[in-house]
Amino acid sequence: MIIDGVLLAAGSGTRMRSPVPKVLSPVLGAPLLSYPYRALVRLHERVGAVHVVVPPGGLPGDRPLEAPGSVSPLYVVQERPDGTFGACEAVISSSAFLSGSSTHLLVLNGDGPLVDETLLESLVSLGEDRPGALVLTTAHLDDPTGYGRILRDPSGRVFAIREESAASASEKAIGEVNAGIYLIPRPILLEAAGRIAPDPRKGERYLTDLVARVVAQAGEVLTLSVSPEAMRGVNTQEELSLVTAVLRERINRLHMGRGVTLQDPLRTDIGPEVEIGPGTVILPQSFLEGRTRVGSSCRIGLGVHLLDTEVGDGAVLRDYVVASSAVIGPKAVVGPFAHLRPGTELGLEVHIGNFVETKKAVLGPGAKANHLSYLGDVTVGARTNIGAGTITCNYDGYEKFETVIGEDVFVGSDTQLVAPLIVGDGAVIAAGSTVVADLPPGALYLTRPSPELRPEGALRYHERRRERRKKNKRKESP
Ligand code: UD1
Ligand code: CA
């Protein structure tokens, strides 16, 4: 048995009332579609290829589905959104499918993110026992409204699926519904191609009509019963929030099982690709998404948001740290209220304090920038101290320039480093300096205008101010 996976993702999703295509709706930072995709890829020993059916023009975004494993998605365009059978036809007429040798298609709705690989494995093993059969998944729902109903004859054999729009009152009362996950033998699909008529009401060609066709030809239709939760689809924003809650719980439980402490798992969002080491403690309202990897025994404070960020063992991220595409070294201490932008690389035991923003900033081991700074396009050597209020002036309104600061440098508070600039090892820059030219190693640099001290000058200053104010008031009143 050789299986190709198929994800149906070309529908318009009008019930979401959003300009974002439904299958790209974000769930814990990952597109909705990536969840069933991941379930398929996890069957990788059995699934040769995954075809993703998309609307003309494809799905927006440069990489809507990043491949977590060795299977990359094969995008197939469905020229017209003429129904779920139309979507499967697009697959079976694609060159990737025709040149492949799969015996079965494992078809999943792209809007069902709660399907897991255990369910898919059961479906596949049923198919292995009966390779010629069309295998459906069904669930019993208290409220089956909107789903295709499973019609069975008196002996219990399935003979059709009836969509909501075509169902009679008695059919609508049936609680067993089509879960939207199918294992279909290749010959069944090839035979039906071009032969499924559009539904007269909606004009769509339904994949579910395949069932009646197979039955009419004395073929075998089997069903696998699944839980109502596993099949939950997303058609509205409210349903999107419901599946998000289920996935949040699943993912968080997994991390807790691996020794991660989540102070409040209901208020912690962790994306499906995120890795976290044991002994790490995460406070509420944090959001770890994308390819974020957190080491062991780290502490993640309140409201920390990490995207595609790597955090070394034992690092401490205090409250309200925001980081994207950054690397935070082992035992680094960051925040509270720090903003690490792409290209930030903090070495071992680096300290970044409150209201510090970094961008393309590489800080060597033990370097510190503890207060109120902007560090952009900069390299900072080991043990260098960046004083409060230091700014790298990296932009002249046209181009960006780099600053290179050596090891063991002391940058005094309120310094402006005007790039391009090189500061040699061991240099000392006095507070309040504006540095516009390179400093050799070991240099001391000061920017000090000659100071002026006027004893009691402040008194005279205030007198003058008061007199001027009086004069102005007299002018105003008639
Ligand atoms: C579908 C099933 C229904 C089942 C339900 C389970 C059909 C006709 N009906 O209904 O029996 O109970 O799923 O959730 O299949 N899509 C395309 N191209 C299209 C139309 C849809 O790729 O032309 C994709 C959509 O993006 C979506 C999936 O197919 O991911 C299902 O489409 P949707 O319109 O949501 O079908 P339902 O009405 O939910
Ligand atoms: Ca649906």
**Could you tell me where the beta strands, DSSP code E, fall in 25-67?**
26-27, 30-31, 47-54
Cis peptide leading into residue 420 (ω within 30°): yes
d(CA 189, CA 198): 16
What confidence score (pLDDT) does residue 62 get? 63
User: Which string of DSSP letters, residue by residue, matches 244-259?
Assistant: HHHHHHHHHHHHHHTT
What is the amino acid identity at position 145? T
Q: Which fold has domain 259-445?
A: UDP N-Acetylglucosamine Acyltransferase; domain 1 (2.160.10)
CA neighbor of 21 nearest in space, from 46, 50, 45, 57: 57
**Helix/strand/coil for 121:** helix
60 CA → ligand 2 middle, Å: 20
Given its phi and psi angles, is residue 454 left (phi above 0), alpha (psi -120 to 50 degrees) or beta?
Answer: beta
**Whether residue 137 has its Cβ less than 6 Å from ligand 1:** no
Residue to mutate, 14, 53, 84, ligand 1, most ligand atoms under 8 Å from C-beta = 84
Pairing of strands 176-185, 104-109: antiparallel
Neighbours of 336 (CB within 10 A): 16
Ligand 2 (single-atom ion) residues, CB below 5 Å: 111, 233
The answer to whether 351 is a known catalytic residue is no
Mean pLDDT, each 10-residue run in order, the chain (478 residues): 95 88 94 94 85 92 68 91 96 94 96 94 95 97 96 97 96 97 97 95 95 97 96 94 97 98 98 97 98 98 98 98 98 98 98 98 98 98 98 96 98 98 98 97 91 91 95 87
**Angle formed by the axes of helices 117-129 and 34-41, nearest 10°:** 50
**Residue range(s) of every CATH 3.90.550.10 domain in the chain:** 3-231
**Whether residue 11 has its Cβ less than 6 Å from ligand 1:** yes
Tell me which of 104, 351, 371, 462 is the catalytic residue.
371
pTM, whole model, 2 decimals? 0.92
CATH 3.90.550.10 holds for 3-231: yes
211 DSSP assignment: H
What confidence score (pLDDT) does residue 77 get? 96
Number of H helices, E strands in the chain: 9, 37
Ligand 1 atom 34, closest CA: 11
User: Which string of DSSP letters, residue by residue, matches 316-384?
Assistant: EE-TT-EEES-EE-TT-EE-SSEEE-TT-EE-TT-EEEEEEEEEEEEE-TT-EEEEEEEEEEEEE-TT-
User: Tokens at residue 216, please?
Assistant: 């009419």
**Residue range(s) of every CATH 2.160.10.10 domain in the chain:** 259-445
The radius of gyration of the chain from alpha carbons, rounded to an integer in Å, stands at 31
